[in-house]
């Protein structure tokens, strides 16, 4: 219990900030401009389902990918920390750097935006994938693995409801509120990224020092 609660909190905060449903709302509304509420709900349903399935695949296939490509866990932690830090830094500056589509592209690919770019990489980007693989490596017990899977499902359920209510929420938050929320989540994400980077770099530095002493 002493380890499960902090782990659950880490899973929730990291995935919520990386998925960033509040920051996705304005882009989502722009991409679905001209669609009816029913069509928007259909896009949201497909996008969250695609994102959830994608991240589940990487969560469970992470160890296989490490072995297949000869990637060390610590090296992946460092790379993941850098990616997550960059995303957090952009959010701290209230910059949203994800893919945007032109009006004519929105009309042409209206049926496909739920898969890309909304599902991938907006709701399930490289930062979220890296975070899922690293946290799965850290989940040493069945209970912790269950907490991780449950939290991912919970986050995408929240994302589903937030995007469904995006029209009303954007009006309530306003531009200032949305920027403040994005900056706060960016700061939290940068702290998580530093922890991830340090946890990967520390064992590597220890091994280098040991080899130097020998």
- 119 dihedral zone (left: phi>0; alpha: psi -120 to 50; beta): alpha
pLDDT in tens, 120-167: 878 998 889 989 999 998 998 999 999 999 999 999 999 999 999 988
- Measured CA to CA, the distance from residue 189 to residue 176 in angstroms comes to 20
The dihedral sign for the CA sequence 16, 22, 27, 32: positive
Quote the tokens at residue 1.
């219990």
With beta carbons less than 8 A apart as the criterion, state whether 47 and 159 touch: no
The set of residues, in sequence order, having a beta carbon less than 8 Å from that of 62 and lying 6+ positions away, is 132, 133, 136, 137
Tens-binned pLDDT, residue by residue, of the chain (214 aa): 568 999 999 999 999 988 989 878 877 887 777 777 888 888 899 999 999 999 999 999 987 887 888 878 788 888 888 887 887 787 787 655 444 445 555 445 455 678 877 888 789 988 899 899 999 989 989 999 999 999 999 999 999 999 999 888 877 877 777 778 778 878 887 888 888 888 889 988 888 888 766 5
Burial 20-43 (b: 16+ CB within 10 A, else e): bbbbbbebbeebbeebeeeebeeb
| pTM of the model as a whole | 0.78
* Cis peptide bond N-terminal to 203, omega within 30: no
């Amino acid at each position: 219990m002493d380890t499960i609660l902090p782990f659950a909190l880490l899973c929730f905060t990291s995935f919520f900030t990386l998925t960033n449903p509040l920051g996705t709302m304005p882009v989502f509304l722009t991409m679905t401009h001209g669609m009816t509420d029913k069509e928007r709900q259909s896009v949201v349903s497909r996008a969250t389902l695609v994102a959830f399935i994608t991240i589940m695949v990487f969560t469970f296939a992470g160890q296989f990918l490490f072995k297949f490509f000869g990637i060390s866990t610590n090296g992946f932690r460092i790379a993941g920390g850098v990616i997550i830090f960059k995303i957090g830094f952009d959010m701290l500056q209230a910059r949203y750097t994800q893919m945007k589509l032109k009006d004519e592209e929105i009309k042409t690919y209206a049926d496909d935006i739920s898969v890309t770019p909304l599902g991938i990489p907006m709701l399930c980007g490289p930062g979220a994938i890296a975070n899922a693989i690293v946290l799965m490596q850290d989940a040493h017990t069945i209970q912790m693995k269950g907490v991780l899977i449950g939290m991912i499902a919970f986050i995408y359920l929240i994302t589903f409801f937030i995007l469904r209510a995006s029209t009303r929420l954007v009006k309530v938050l306003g531009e200032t509120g949305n920027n403040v929320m994005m900056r706060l989540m960016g700061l939290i994400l940068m702290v998580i990224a530093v922890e991830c980077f340090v946890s990967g770099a520390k064992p590597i530095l220890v091994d280098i020092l040991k080899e130097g002493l020998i």
